A and B are shown apart, each in its own frame.
Chain A
Amino acid sequence: MSAATLAPTSTLIALPLACARCGRKQDAAPVHICQDCLGPLEPVYDVERRLPTPEVIAARPRSLWRYREWLPFTGEPVESTDTGWTPLIDAPALADRLGVARCWIKNDALSFPSLSFKDRVVSTALNAVRAFGLDVVGCASTGNLANAVAAHAARAGLPAWIFIPESLEQAKILATAVFGAHLVRVRGTYDDVNRLCAQVADRFGWGIVNVNLRAYYGEGSKTVAFEIAEQLGWRSPTAVVAPMAGGSLVTKVGKGFREFQRAGFLDSTPRIFGAQAEGCAPIVRMIEHGTDTLVPERPHTIARSLAIGAPADGPAARHTILESGGWARAVSDVALVAGIRLLAETTGIFAETAGGVTVAAAASLAASGHLSADDEVVLCITGNGLKTTDAIESAIAPSPLIEPRLREVAALVA
């Protein structure tokens, strides 16, 4: 064997795929469903691959690619190599309010470059785009993914076609269009947009990140779990609360913790809790009603980033939650606004509506005894409050307006 063949390759190669339902294997490709049974495809990792130690990982650059042995490629990533490694914030005042032993915020409101956890999945999806030599990217989005795809595509110099429901928040529309993406508003709900994008991916052969690149895209969410484990000093919290839209995040967070336990990095894994808004809670209702049949809903909530009435990973999310010993909770729009304020006032973190859902659900789960006084809880804050300011406008009292005179300040302070 020559020296050349012994040298590790640095060429980015996507891992092969297998059907999660029937097990049928296939070569790496920009496809997301099994050609035989239409089940979801998942990347297949070489169980014999060499894994790094925690010390080796700790010495790597602070991005989600420090966990690259658990991401669906071999070789070096070529796009979005600086995404990930968001802060894990200790939140003792919020822990007191919830009545739990410890509470941390996994703060993806600070994710680079587009201020939501969708940067993680787009980071892996963009590398799949490069591995497959695709020349156009796109997505169906409730907002955060639109921002992320547009930003990452701009950095990569790729044209992006982004499809959103017509009723999105103005900030999310502007924070997509500014990157020069082809932004298309669609009359209908996210579920209508999603169906359209499945047809677009089928017709045009583009890299639609959450359709035909979904097998590679979804794996990026595992890095939330990897980072939490490392930032806690290579241990697991007892509970994680995360918002649910399509259901992929909680599914992949659960998978991430299990993978790190299997690698010998963790003694235990957390109970996983999912949060939805009452106006769109098909996954919560599956869990509460004890059924594995998802009944789609027509969303009606201000938590637009969670407004997916027919979540693709609903059954998988339910399985992950129940297998972990966790539960799920839906909260009202009034409660989610209170959740945004509780988080802001106790931690200094301004979350978008999905974060309010997560905090409000955590409070409700604590009140009902699903979270207890000895729990160490991580709340996943997945997006930035500056994107959904319209949701809280009516809840914030108007500020006093005064003349520039000291006595008027004194009157306010008195």
Chain B
Amino acid sequence: MAITIHLPTVLAPFAQGERVLEVSSGTVGAAVQDIGTRFPSLLPRLADSSGQPYAFVTFYVNDEDVRFLDGFNTPIADGDEVTIVPAVAGG
């Protein structure tokens, strides 16, 4: 079993049309770097030049906003689901 990353439709074109990606265990930040290596144009849309998250892209691990966990250092393991959602919504 792997870790599943769910991309919003708007980012799928930067992952060759894929909306669901798989990574091995580690941290959210490591997963971002992993898929960013596979799809280089995806990386700058998920993290800034120093590898940190943007304020306008929210990462969830199993429905929990990682800002309430340990940000990009949040550990993830087999079976976890990471969902990426553009933050500009609601209100």
> Which residues of A line the B interface, CB within 8 A?
21, 31-33, 35, 37-40, 140, 188, 190-192, 194-195, 197-199, 201-202, 210-211, 214, 245-248, 293-296, 298, 308, 310-313, 315
Cβ of B1 under 8 Å from chain A: no
Which of B63, B83, B86, B90 sits near A33, CB closer than 8 Å? B86
Are A308 and B10 interface neighbours, CB within 8 A?
no
Are A310 and B58 interface neighbours, CB within 8 A?
yes
Per-residue A-contact encoding for B46-79, CB less than 8 Å = 1, 0 else: 0000000011111010010101100000000000
Are A195 and B45 interface neighbours, CB within 8 A?
no
Are A195 and B85 interface neighbours, CB within 8 A?
yes
Inter-chain pairs besides A38-B45, A39-B88, 13 sampled, C-beta below 8 Å: A38-B54, A38-B56, A38-B86, A191-B65, A199-B85, A202-B8, A210-B91, A211-B89, A245-B91, A298-B68, A308-B91, A310-B65, A312-B90
Are A214 and B88 interface neighbours, CB within 8 A?
yes
Minimal Cβ-Cβ distance residue in B for A39? B56
Minimal Cβ-Cβ distance residue in A for B6? A199
Q: How many residues of B contact A (CB 8 A)?
A: 24
Cβ of B37 under 8 Å from chain A: no
Residues of chain B within 8 A (CB-CB) of A35 are: 10, 13
Which parts of B23-45 form the interface with A (CB within 8 Å)?
45
Which one of A140, A194, A293 has the greatest number of beta carbons of chain B within 10 Å? A194
Minimal Cβ-Cβ distance residue in B for A201? B89
Main secondary structure of the interface of A (DSSP, over half): loop
Cβ of B87 under 8 Å from chain A: yes
Are B10 and A296 interface neighbours, CB within 8 A?
no
Residues of chain A within 8 A (CB-CB) of B54 are: 38
Which of A21, A194, A296 sits near B68, CB closer than 8 Å? A296
Which of A140, A195, A293 sits near B58, CB closer than 8 Å? A195
Are B89 and A194 interface neighbours, CB within 8 A?
yes
Main secondary structure of the interface of B (DSSP, over half): mixed
CA distance A211 to B89 in the complex (A): 5
Are A202 and B9 interface neighbours, CB within 8 A?
yes
Are A312 and B8 interface neighbours, CB within 8 A?
no
Which of B57, B63, B88, B89 sits near A192, CB closer than 8 Å? B63
Residues of chain B within 8 A (CB-CB) of A246 are: 90-91
Residues of chain A within 8 A (CB-CB) of B58 are: 195, 310
A363 to chain B, nearest CB (A): 25
Minimal Cβ-Cβ distance residue in B for A188? B63
Are B85 and A315 interface neighbours, CB within 8 A?
no
Are B45 and A312 interface neighbours, CB within 8 A?
no
CA distance A199 to B63 in the complex (A): 12
Residues of chain B within 8 A (CB-CB) of A293 are: 55
Which of B55, B57, B83 sits near A199, CB closer than 8 Å? B83
Are B88 and A32 interface neighbours, CB within 8 A?
yes
Minimal Cβ-Cβ distance residue in B for A20? B88
CA distance A188 to B91 in the complex (A): 16
Are A294 and B90 interface neighbours, CB within 8 A?
no
Residues of chain A within 8 A (CB-CB) of B85 are: 195, 198-199
Are A198 and B91 interface neighbours, CB within 8 A?
no
5 A-B pairs with least C-beta separation? A246-B91, A194-B90, A40-B88, A211-B89, A33-B86
Residues of chain B within 8 A (CB-CB) of A313 are: 91
Minimal Cβ-Cβ distance residue in B for A195? B85
Which of B9, B83, B89 sits near A32, CB closer than 8 Å? B89
